[in-house]
Amino acid sequence: MAKLFRAAIMGPPGSGKGTISQRIAESFGLKYLSSGHYLRDSIAANTEAGMIVRPYVDRGMLVPDHVMTRLMLPRLEQLNGHSWLLDGFPRTVAQAQALNSLYHIDMVISLNIPYATLSERLSDRWIHPASGRVYNMGFNPPQVQGKDDITGEPLIQHDDDKPEALMARLRHYKDVAKPVIDLYKSQGVLHSFSGTDTDKIWPYINSLLSTKMQMQPSEAHQTQTP
């Protein structure tokens, strides 16, 4: 049976998590689970989960840990038997501890990108809400302006990508993420990447993943494989 690989990607808004995750999922066949996409989809579909999280997401506040873990852990259970990559979860130490109690995390990728780059990217970020595909008018523009390449559906911008909201989100990210990053560092699974361009960072992530995915211990040695 194929060896399973479990990873998470962290970084401030606009650091390229979604862009890099898309490449990792395509190149290495990992299932991609983004907490932000999942919550936004749930809100759009008016599900019970969506109604619970809406007040937080609308205000750009973190959803409480117990709600988040209750929503995300069953999603991971559905990925039983697959390698996966998480984006946006875990966001806090409590979430990381809940995840750690069930799964061995093989790798955490942390992205360090200068503020000016984040701000410039996000002011020009366009999203296809149904799939989460991201575009940027300079970096990876859609083939037809304002339309998703695959479905032709309209692209949208998030209100909280505007510079004023971004500054607050970044400050908040730093406070909350630091202890999570420290936790994964102490577990020896953290890999940090700095730079202003995903295309320059990507070859390093690609080669690291190629090496690590070959070096996986047998499943018998993993802490748990639910």
Which C-beta is closer to ligand UDP: that of 4 or that of 142? 142
Under 8 Å between Cβ of 115 and 17: no
Burial tier of 196 (Cβ tally within 10 Å: 0-12, 13-18, 19+): middle
Please state the closest distance from residue 40 (CB atom) to ligand ATP, in A. Answer: 7
Under the criterion CB under 6 A, does residue 129 sit at the interface with ligand ATP?
no
Residue-wise DSSP of 80-128? TTS-EEEES---SHHHHHHHHTT----EEEEEE--HHHHHHHHTTEEE-
Q: Please identify which residue in 22, 95, 110, 198 interacts with ligand ATP, judged by CB under 6 A.
A: 95
Residue with tokens 């060896």: 3
Selection from ligand UDP, ligand ATP, none that 91 binds (CB < 5 to 8 A by kind) is: ligand ATP
The helix (H) or strand (E) run that includes residue 129 is: none
- Of 2-10, 53-61, 105-113, 208-216, the window that binds ligand ATP (rule: CB under 6 A) is 53-61
Please state the closest distance from residue 149 (CB atom) to ligand ATP, in A. Answer: 19
Selection from ligand UDP, ligand ATP, none that 121 binds (CB < 5 to 8 A by kind) is: ligand UDP
- Of 13-21, 101-109, 143-151, 185-193, the window that binds ligand ATP (rule: CB under 6 A) is 13-21
| Cβ contacts of 79 within 8 Å, gap of 6 or more | 31, 33
**Which spans of this chain sit near ligand UDP (rule: CB under 6 A)?**
11, 13-19, 121, 125, 134-136, 139-140, 197-198
Under the criterion CB under 6 A, does residue 169 sit at the interface with ligand ATP?
yes
Selection from ligand UDP, ligand ATP, none that 135 binds (CB < 5 to 8 A by kind) is: ligand UDP
Is 88 labelled a binding residue? yes
Cis upstream peptide for 141 (omega within 30°) = no
Residues at the binding site for GTP are 14-19, 125, 134-135, 198
Mark the binding-site residues for AMP, compressed into ranges.
35, 40, 61-63, 88-91, 95, 169
In the complex, which residues of this chain contact ligand ATP (CB under 6 A)?
13-14, 17-18, 35-36, 39, 56-57, 60-63, 68, 88-89, 91, 95, 169
